[in-house]
Amino acid sequence: MKAIVNNKIVNLHAKPDTTSELIDEVLYGMVVDVLEFCDESWVRIQTTYRYEGYCLKEKLLIDEEKSLKWQEEAKNVIIQNFSDILAGPKIQSTKIATLVKGSFVTIVEDSELDQEWAKVKLASGEVGYTRSYWVRQTISERVSEEEFRENVVQTALSYLTTPYRWGGKSPLGIDCSGLCSMAYMLNGVLIYRDAKIVEGFPIKQIEFDQIQKGDLLYFPGHIAMYMGDGLYVHSSLGGNEVSINSLNENHPHYRKDLATSITAVGSLFAKELVH
């Protein structure tokens, strides 16, 4: 049974209990698979990137037919940190909803609108308006490798200073793997949600001397995105926010604890490392 995430941010827990560990967040408009109805309040779900956890049933629109239709139609994603969906195409209009970066909507064609506003449809069927430059079509065609590498780094950098949140995946708070997975998702690629390389996902291990911009650095329990010139961007529990550090010991933002504990380097543009 498929369902649509029908709240701005829905917590995904390790157990069907609001006090259990937050392991992920699913964002508005994402389509998930309902694997199990635990009780009247909780369901176990699986995301499109094959992550499983428990969430409150009331946060989902559980309907197979509507979900499949939405999955086909919702080809637009919010790219602004926060985007108000308004009842009309003017800033004074009533707010219908507020969505965060990574949420999915459908753009409704309307030739009468100017370029400032986009008419969008929500999962509920309700129609509203948001700034046209705050929403874009999801990426279906692969750009050049060079352009992708630049885009994914710039997307990760757009979360700079976002507070660290265990299990977080939005501009309200994000963790290390949330940052990297969202940067890739917003550029059309689904990677594994946790800080490790997993078979069946597109990131493959490479040698350290092959590392390029946009590749991923793996540490014990941590992941970062390489920016080039020895720099990397990451969401660090120690730093409490998304920040930039360096692998160069002569750089003022050098972190010895990370620079000396790299366990793997992963890339979208390489065959799996042969040992």
Catalytic residues: 176, 222, 234
Mean pLDDT score of the chain? 93
List the structure tokens of 257.
């604890």
List the structure tokens of 84.
């108000």
C-alpha 87/C-alpha 119 separation (Å) is 10
Residue 28's identity, in one-letter code, is Y
Q: What are phi and psi of 167, to 5 degrees?
A: 80, 0
pLDDT confidence of residue 115: 84
Does the pLDDT at position 247 exceed 70?
yes
Any residues with CB less than 8 A from the CB of 270 and at least 6 apart, and which? 204, 206, 210
Any residues with CB less than 8 A from the CB of 180 and at least 6 apart, and which? 156, 191, 216, 223, 224, 225
Does the pLDDT at position 275 exceed 50?
no
What is the DSSP track for the chain?
-EEEE-SSEEEEESSSSTTS-EEEEEETT-EEEEEEE-SSSEEEEE-TT--EEEEEGGGEEE-HHHHHHHHHH--EEE-SSEEEEESSSSTTSPEEEEEETT-EEEEPP-TTS-TTEEEEE-TTS-EEEEEGGGEEEPP-S---HHHHHHHHHHHHHTTTTPBB-TT-EETTEE-HHHHHHHHHHTTT----SSSS--TTSS-EEE-GGG--TT-EEEETTEEEEEEETTEEEEEETTTTEEEEEES-TTSTTB-HHHHT---EEEESSSPPPP-
pLDDT confidence of residue 114: 65
**pTM check: above 0.75:** yes
Dihedral angle over CA of 54, 183, 104, 195, nearest 10: -10
How large is the average pLDDT for residues 67-95? 95
Q: What are phi and psi of 180, to 5 degrees?
A: -70, -40
Largest CA distance in the chain: 61
Q: Which domains does the chain have, with CATH numbers?
A: 2-72 (2.30.30.40), 76-137 (2.30.30.40), 145-267 (3.90.1720.10)
Q: What is the pLDDT of residues 125-158, one digit of tens each?
A: 999 999 999 999 887 567 899 999 999 999 999 9
Q: What is the pLDDT of residues 102-111, one digit of tens each?
A: 999 999 976 5
Does the pLDDT at position 55 exceed 80?
yes
pLDDT band at residue 274 under the 50/70/90 scheme: very low
Q: What is the pLDDT of residues 192-223, one digit of tens each?
A: 999 999 999 999 999 999 999 999 999 999 99
pLDDT confidence of residue 141: 62
Q: What is the pLDDT of residues 8-38, one digit of tens each?
A: 999 999 999 999 999 999 999 999 999 999 9
pLDDT confidence of residue 1: 94
Q: What are phi and psi of 273, to 5 degrees?
A: -65, 130
